[in-house]
Amino acid sequence: MDTPDWNSKSVGDNVYEPSEDTFLLLDALEKDLDALNKTIVQDGGGGGGGLILELGSGSGVLTAAMKKALGSNVHCVAVDINPAACLTTLETCSLNNVDVDAVNADLLNWMWKSRCVDVILFNPPYVRSMADDDERPDDENYIGRAWCGGPEDGADVIREVLPQIDRVLADNGVFYLLMIDYNRPEEIAKLMRDEYSMGHTVVMSRRVPGESLVVYKFRRL
């Protein structure tokens, strides 16, 4: 899976620039590419192509990579609360000669159809942030929304999206979630098992300066 091109100038100050976490998730998806093909072509898609959805697409690098790797087998939708990120995602995908859709929305509240998505990717806001309101303001263009995960363990946004994942993920679908060590990944995995009957595997982990990151893959038991 090739790393897509992106325009650093178009990313600007209001959109999350691809970083170590982006590339870890990209490497994890490349490692799992054969399994993804099976999920989409054999188990999902209903014969009309699988549906891949990325939450918090930012620059659009992950969405572009998935579309480039899987081609006509998939339809890719990128979701971001930041309008500038949606535009940047579309520009990145155009730069890589792939067509995707971008939805300006907050997580998955906008989706009305249940159990329809074959693959969901999420590099969430996972950084521990201050408890005051200035850390996560209403301004959708504020770059801090890309990483501020809440006080204590930084997993507020992760926990918020889990019931939505359960609602929209296809019966044979898979959910890739990147976390940092202080998000308490094993507690998130236990919550997924106990509340939503989803098991997990660890696809890849990586230690980078000041961080220990991991990618979990969830699917229904």
Per-residue pLDDT, 11: 66
Flag whether pLDDT at 12 surpasses 80.
no
Q: What is the mean pLDDT of residues 121-134?
A: 77
Domain ranges for the chain: 17-220
For the chain, helix, strand, coil in percent to 5 are: 40, 30, 30
Measure the CA dihedral 37/115/146/70, to 10°.
Answer: 20
Per-residue pLDDT, 81: 92
Q: What is the mean pLDDT of residues 181-193?
A: 97
Contact of 7 with 91, CB cutoff 8 Å = yes
Report percent pLDDT > 90 for the chain: 73
* CATH number of this structure's domain 17-220, picked from the four choices 2.40.50.100, 3.40.50.150, 1.10.3720.10, 3.30.70.330: 3.40.50.150
Q: Which long-range contacts (CB under 8 A, 24 or more apart) does 45-48 make?
A: 45/73, 45/74, 45/118
The three-class DSSP label of residue 30 is helix
Here the tokens at position 38 are: 């099976």
Q: What confidence tens digit (pLDDT) does each residue in 38-71 have?
A: 878 666 544 457 999 999 999 999 999 999 999 9
Rounded CA-CA distance 20/165 in Å is: 25
